[in-house]
Structure 1
Amino acid sequence: MLTDTLSRFRLGTRGVAAVALAAGLLLSPGLTSSARAADSAPCTPDRNYPGTFLCPIWGSNVNLRSEPDPQAPVIATSPDGGLLRVECQVKGGRATYGDYWHTWWVKTPAVGMARSAYMSEIFLVGGGNDERDSGLPNC
């Protein structure tokens, strides 16, 4: 009789575990169709310049353009050091670089006589194609 009770308990435990596992898989955000790649290196607030953010970038001498469009004139290039100070992000023209593509652009702050410039988010570290940076507000 004790063996029958334990067998029913084990079967019941397996049944509950199976239901819990199935529910967990169905509710997991990683398995839903709206799931997106995680931004592994979001931009972070710049403590020295309130209202701006520091974004890790890859590449050097990346073109900064007058408008968020790959056909806009180049007005500067990214600084050395792997970080770019920005204000926000905005949708713009589709930029491509090899297998990468993006319609999101970051906007740099105007400084002195230098006006704001735009860089494609292709060159931000982390994220995926056409995925906005999780650390930045929209312009």
Structure 2
Amino acid sequence: MLTVARAGTTGLAAVALAAAMLLSPGLTSSARAADSAPCTPDRNYPGTFLCPIWGSNVNLRSAPEPQAPVIATAPDGGFLRVLCQVKGGRATYNGYWHTWWVKTQAMGMAPSAYMSEIFLAGGGNDEPDSGLPNC
């Protein structure tokens, strides 16, 4: 099970905004093409993308599977830098579910990590992010 711990004032505001976006009629599963907050190319780091995320202390895992070991947590601040997206195991959280995962870049001694797309802002259950290439 994925967890999100310690949601401060900024985290709560991001969760409320993301929940409102995910629950609005234009973003439900009946509107599959609607991704209101797609990942965008990062101009400062070619080949990477900035993805708006909600929550704080979101688990980053060693593989795109919900039971894979947690190796880090996503930084607070609303964005995660990623390389691509990949299909993986089905993750669930508070009524949401996803089989798409984003892959982060390896940094120094830290390996690449994976985060469930549940925590990307916009889109719906099991919809790949419209701004990311597949790995």
TM-score, scaled to structure 2: 0.77
Matched, 1:137 2:133: yes
Give 4+ residue runs of structure 1 displaced > 6 Å after superposition. Answer: none
Aligned residue number for residue 42 of structure 1: 38
Alignment of 1:68-83 (within 5 A): 68-83=64-79
Of the two structures, which has the highest relative contact order with CA contacts closer than 8 Å and spacing of 6 or more?
2
TM-score (norm 1): 0.75
Cα pair 1:58 1:123 within 8 Å, conserved: yes
Q: Which residue of 2 aligns with 1:126?
A: 122
Aligned length: 107
3-state DSSP of counterpart to 1:126: coil
Tell me the SS of whatever aligns to 2:118. Answer: helix
* Contact 1:90/1:106 (<8 A) preserved: yes
Structure 1 or 2: more helix by fraction: 1
3-state DSSP of counterpart to 1:103: strand
Identity of aligned residues (%): 89
Q: Supply the distance in 1 between the matched residues of 2:32 and 2:57 (Cα, whole angstroms).
A: 29
Question: Greater CA radius of gyration, 1 or 2?
Answer: 1
Alignment RMSD: 1.4
Q: How far has the Cα of 1:98 moved from its partner?
A: 1.1
Residues 36-91 of structure 1, C-alpha deviations (whole Å, 9 max, x = no match): 14000000000000000000000000000000000000000000101000000000
Matched-pair contact (CA < 8 Å) for 1:41–1:126:
yes
